[in-house]
Structure 1
Amino acid sequence: MNEKAIADFVYEEARLLDAMQWEGWLGLYHAEARYWVPLEWQQQDPVLQPSLMYEDVLLLKVRVERLSGERTFSQKPKSRCHHLLQAPQIVECNAETGVFKARTSFLYTETRGDTLERYSGWASHELIAIDGAFKIKLKRIDLINFDAPFGNIQLFM
């Protein structure tokens, strides 16, 4: 478990999302993981302060089931996405404690039909190593325009 392995993991997660391989993407998450998109700059508390999203694995699974469902008429045509990532900055790489952290600048594009939405910001990954593989404990998305009005974000950044 080294810095290159952390960066490779971040790139693989984006690849799975862009390919709409939802089950493979969910498999990257630890059972107690959280997916968090704060509502405020440098927000510290996802529970006592409102967030754009703060989801556990169960909610992520529900969203994936909705996206994969044949009777999800709001997804006809299906949404698609593209992640453009800078090289991840490794914040922590500690094999002794099993804690690994990365921060990645990104441009994210989501499209459906003739609608195209773009977002930019930073994705922070807190990873743990389990049986020689990384699992996401927390994925935090800090959007540069966190205070802007948003349409429906259908997929995952």
Structure 2
Amino acid sequence: MITEKSITDFIYREAELLDTMQWDAWLALFHASGRYWMPLEWQQQDPVLQPSLMYEDLLLLKVRVERLAGERTFSQKPKSRCHHLLQAPTITACDPANGLFKARTSFIYTETRGDVLERYSGWASHDLIESDGHLKIKLKRIDLVNFDAPFGNIQLFM
């Protein structure tokens, strides 16, 4: 049975997989119809009819992961690395009877490559579903505090 603790553990595990570059294990956390969304505007409601920093389905996520893992990806020499510092997730919905699980987590994210260090702050919202007894990401939404700032290339995943 899915509990608030299992949701929290799932979110911490996802960050660990990203920080240790276990890309295939991270992709396996997504439902087949899962999405990764980074809105361009504060409280943006529509990822399709409004521009977003990122709005990727599982296929696009796989393409990005293949690029990151590729030996011939010269933009990743040296490789980017990241670190997630998470506040304890707030469970906003835990309804096993209806398969509804949601959480929101404040974070500080650091990404580095060579001598360049970028830091971002914001909130990660997870909409999760149960699939074969396991939690899967239906939607991961990243709301940055400074969403309207000019950004360099965000190489990895927050």
**Common fold by TM > 0.5:** yes
Q: Which residue of 1 aligns with 2:125?
A: 124
Residue 70 (str. 1) matches residue 75 (str. 2): no
What root-mean-square deviation, in Å, do the aligned CA atoms of Structure 1 and Structure 2 show?
A: 0.3
Q: Kindly state the Cα deviation for residue 99 of structure 1 after the two structures are TM-superposed.
A: 1.0
Structure 1: gaps spanning 5 or more residues:
none
Deviation, structure 1 residue 131: 1.4
Deviation (angstroms), 1:55: 0.3
The residue number in structure 1 matching 2:140 is: 139
- TM-score, reference length from structure 1: 1.00
- Structure 1 residue 94, shift from structure 2 partner: 0.3
Query: Normalising by structure 2, what TM-score?
Result: 0.99
Q: Deviations over 1:23-68 (max 9, x none)?
A: 0000000000110000000000000000000000000000000000
Per the alignment, residue 100 of structure 1 pairs with 101
4+ residue stretches of structure 1 with deviation over 6 A? none
Q: Distance in 2 between matches of 1:102 and 1:139?
A: 10
Secondary structure at the aligned position of 1:149 is classed as coil
Q: Distance in 2 between matches of 1:25 and 1:108?
A: 17
Give the CA deviation at 1:132.
Answer: 1.2
Aligned to 1:77, the other structure's residue is in SS state: coil
How many residues are treated as equivalent by the alignment? 157
1:155 is aligned to 156
Counterpart mapping for 1:42-61 below 5 A: 42-61=43-62
